[in-house]
Chains A and B, each alone.
Chain A
Amino acid sequence: MASEVIATTTASPPSSLRAFWNSFSENRGAVIGMYVVVAIVLIAIFAPVLAPYNPLEQFKGATKLPPFWVQGSDPKYWLGTDAVGRDMLSRLMYGARISLFIGLSVMLVSMVLGVILGLASAFYGGIIDVVIIRIMDLIMAIPSLVLEILIIAITGPSLLNTVIAITIVYLPRYVRLLRASAIAELSKDYVTAAKVSGVGKLRLMLVTVLPNCTAPLIVQAALGISDAILEASGLGFLGLGAQPPTPEWGAMLADTRDLMQSHPWVMALPGLCILITVMAINLMGDGLRDALDPRLRKS
């Protein structure tokens, strides 16, 4: 009888996903950030359906129209049009695609390469470790924007080269992170146990150790997306990123510098999009860090 009572009152511990969500959703800012990110992702995916016009189409008689809340706007173009009569709303929607593409591809490529190099350097040590760490130190010694300018000066300005340049610049973050956490894990008992029971090196790296390094990696990846978006828009603004007529937010901003005084909204809108996107991802990243890293949870 007594044992039955105990059995019914023992609740099973929440699954790790559930525990993560409980912890994450405590942070109101992080949840708001997540909703905004989801909205931006949906806009980016469904841009061809949602956008009223082709982002490159120029409407001759409708240049420099203001958005709907300003006098003299045209209800056909909600957020107005730019200097050559392209619909702002459509361009901004397609711009979300470009920015997210840059952010995600930089994150994915630099993370995968970083994980491989970081693990290799932690596991093999010796000359491999020295070479990898030296190269990463070199990349970090050159200020990011200057290194990106150097790479783009060699390869020429384009969207793809922007991605390549930022990926190289962000690589050391992942390599060093992975190397440090892998080295810390390597001295733990479960790794020794796995080694003793004859687990191969590759399996030890990828199956035994890697999953235990994922928490800081996820946080770094989330914040890496927003940093990459900011960086790419800065390059776009300098004319070194995506080339016109691509509707990249940073490049759109650079286009409108002459119109700044007479038509401020043409300049204001792309910048606002960058700010909202980056801020939402950062909010979410902060929440992820607090939820995944219990040491930081209290602060």
Chain B
Amino acid sequence: MFKFLLKRLALTVPTFVALMFITFVMIRMVPGDPIEVRRGERGISPERLEMLRHEMGLDQPVWKQFLDYVWGILHGDFGTSIISKSPVLHEFLTLFPATIELTFFAMLIAVFVGVPAGVFAAARRGGIFDQTLMGIALTGYSMPIFWWGLLLVLFMSNTLHLTPVSGRVDLIKFYYPQVTGFAIIDSLLSGKPGALADVLRHLILPSIVLGTVPMAVIARMTRSSMLEVLEEDYVRTARAKGLSAWRVVGLHALRNALIPVVVSIGLQVGTLLAGAVLTENIFSWPGVGHWLTQSIARRDYPALQGGILLIATIVIIVNVLVDLTYAAINPRIRYGK
């Protein structure tokens, strides 16, 4: 297992190096003068330009610049935002809890709706229930989620007034200090009655929107994995022993059918963290996805560069963790190859 861990970690090193190289090249390829792009200033005098070039290390050879960049990253320096003038890493870490919170609840909805739906569909294979569920899953899978989000806002918020339109909490009514960055924990810590309920009301629509596609994928996967397992001999034996149908399906078959599903859930977490870009934009959710698109609009390239590097790093780490979990459950992966 330890050997597998080392091997898997070693495989990520070239990916990180390439990632750093791409983001390094990126800032040099964006249209416009690098100084203007970085400092957000225009029409600089030649003397000041020379000074800035020296200050930013742009008069060094390119390979030296790249090594400096890598050195900075390894010491936690992901650049400085042009707009806010604060370190990119700091901005990212301030906003990231909001994205984690949203992703977590989206995944919760996706799993707790998707898995049972897949199991029921497989158990009643070919029936009207199966067809309806799979029809819904196909719709969810094909859904442009930004449109789905706007539709939900239109009906739930604007027409029925059930949920708020955007943001994480009603700050006028429930102002509380940021302690952990997680609205659920902070609202509890604030001790204000109703604050947590308000946070959850803000969370529900974005979570549904972000969870829709993974929910559909999980339902489809659970169904096909269940169908495969239900054909196995041990399931027939369990049935022959006279166990109730739901005990066979829900206990014996489900346990084995869930292995590939768990892996796909794990792999989707990474995609979701990043996929929050669209959802966060619809609901003005103050997370990293929203920040990333705003950085493009403001031409804040250092923020974009650092942000992309950080998101990709997190996704790579999540994927390694998923692989390790999979190897822990399934020895064939560990020893094969």
Contact = CB atoms under 8 A, between A and B. Distances in A.
Interface of A: 134-135, 137-138, 141-146, 149-150, 153-154, 156, 226, 230, 233-234, 237-240, 250, 253, 257, 260-261, 264, 267-268, 270-271, 274-275, 278-279, 282-283, 286, 299
B19 A149 contact: no
Contacts of A149: 277, 292-293, 296, 304, 308
A299 B257 CA distance: 14
A141 B142 contact: no
7 contacts: A134-B18, A135-B18, A234-B278, A237-B278, A238-B278, A271-B150, A278-B142
B257 to A, nearest CB: 12
A138 B150 CA distance: 33
Contacts of A234: 144-146, 278
A267 B150 contact: yes
A299 B144 contact: no
Nearest to A229: B144
Interface string B314-337: 011001000000000000000000
Given A154-B29, A261-B158, A143 B271 contact: yes
Given A143-B275, A146-B292, A153 B151 contact: no
Interface of B: 11, 14-15, 18-19, 22-23, 26, 29-31, 138-139, 141-148, 150-151, 153-154, 158, 224, 227-228, 270-271, 273-275, 277-278, 281, 292-293, 296-297, 301, 304, 308, 311-312, 315-316, 319
A279 B139 contact: yes
B18 A138 contact: yes
Contacts of A239: 297
B144 A226 contact: no
Contact of B144 (A137, A145, A250): A250
A268 B146 CA distance: 11
A153 B312 contact: no
A154 B224 CA distance: 41
B151 to A, nearest CB: 7
Contacts of A257: 150
Nearest to B139: A279
Nearest to A253: B147
A240 B293 CA distance: 9
A154 B319 CA distance: 27
Contacts of A253: 144, 146-147, 150
A282 B138 contact: yes
